[in-house]
Every structure is written in C-alpha cells, then in structure tokens.
Amino acid sequence: IFRKATLEMMCMLCMKVQPVGPNCQSPSCNGLSMAKYYCSICKFFDDERSVYHCPFCNLCRLGEGLGTDFFHCMKCNCCLGLKLKEHKCREKMLEMNCPICCDFLFTSSAAVRGLPCGHFMHSACFQAYTCSHYTCPICSKSLGDMTVYFGMLDGLLAAEELPEEYRNRCQDILCNDCGRKGLSQFHWLYHKCAACGSYNTRVIKTEAPDCSTSN
C-alpha cells in the first residue's frame, strides 16, 4: 500500500475503524497506544526497532536519529552513519540500485557502505563481494590500500622469466586507479601502471610493440 495515503486504521483490541493516529480513540481502550513509534507523516508504526523520521529524505529510517547515529548529507541527499562523516560526496548518490543485489539504496532499510571512490553498496553486499573482488563494480577503482598486494605482484613478476620473444614487448594500458594511460611490459595477466604503481589496469591495445623502440 501507499503508506502515506493511509486514512484509517483498525484497533485490534476494540475492532473500531477510526482515523489513523498514535492512539485508539475508542473510550473502551482508554487511549491505548498503537505502537512505541508512530510517524504522522509516513503513517508508520513500529514496536520492535529504533526508528526516526528524516525531514530531508521525507522517510522513516532505522536508527536512533539525526545527530545520534546518523546525519543527512545535503549533497548526497541521503542519511549516512556518523562513521561516514568523512566521505566522498556524489550528488544524489543513493538514488540508485545497489550494484550487487540491485535493491534501490535510497529506500532500503539495510545498512549501506561508502566506497573510497564515492559509490555505495549494502554493507552485507560489500562483505560478500570483497571475498573475491577488490575493485568497485561501477568505476573499477581499488576498494582500499592495495600496497601489500601490489608489492607481492612486484616480487612475483621479478622472479618470473618471460619467453625470449616477449621480453622486449610492451602494451598500452589504462590505469583504473589514477586514470592515466601508459606503457607496461608485456604480460598475460599483470600490467603495472608506471605513474602510480597500481596493477589495477586494463590493456587498451592488443598489439605488443617493441619497448626498445617506443617513446
């Protein structure tokens, strides 16, 4: 139902149909409270959870309230946990689907997590996704500090010997982290960005020219 358009309710104690409100208006119920929490704007009742109404989102959300455990970012136009006070703002960023489960983030009751790149996804989706991925599913930037992992790849490639016909070959790459194009030594899987040292790159030209003759 369209909750905000609700006009009437039924008290399950006296069974009287009456205008929606926080208390039963029947004299026999003596002002019985309908729920611990009631929002006159959203026409929302809740007995089990902590809920607050955000006047900027114009929605009831799970939590203790603005300034207690949540704040409203005016640029992102959404409520975020206080631990996300320092985040990368993107206008109306939560007015989109979670890139993992495709649930609409703005009206979702599940906790969301901000990524370093400024995108968002559900916290639970983030935990499952990062078990096997380390890049944002939207913009492909790294999801955290990859220094240790990239250092391991440096060691791996230093110990690896390419076939002679590929040793002087290089490939044109685009770095997903810094956004720069450049050349990287030929490899079937790993290509290091010369500008920032990231291995979060993609090959943009399949030909492998001789590095010794490339500028």
Question: Which of 127 and 118 is assigned the larger pLDDT?
Answer: 127
3-state secondary structure of 147: helix
pLDDT tens-digit readout, 151-169: 999 999 999 888 888 888 8
Q: Count CB-CB contacts under 10 A for residue 191.
A: 25
Residue 40 above 90 pLDDT? yes
pLDDT tens-digit readout, 179-190: 999 999 888 899
Contacts of 58 (CB under 8 A, 6+ apart): 41
Mean pLDDT of 59-70: 92
- Asked whether the beta carbons of 181 and 204 are under 8 A apart, the reply is yes
pLDDT tens-digit readout, 42-57: 999 999 999 999 999 9
In this prediction, residue 3 has a pLDDT band, given cuts at 50, 70 and 90, of confident
Task: Output the pLDDT for position 213.
Answer: 58
What domains are there in the chain, each with its CATH number?
Answer: 3-46 (no CATH), 71-129 (no CATH), 147-213 (2.20.28.10)
Question: Which of 213 and 1 is assigned the larger pLDDT?
Answer: 1
Measuring CA to CA, which residue among 159, 165, 199 is closest to residue 182?
199
The pTM (predicted TM-score) of the whole model is 0.71
In this prediction, residue 208 has a pLDDT band, given cuts at 50, 70 and 90, of low
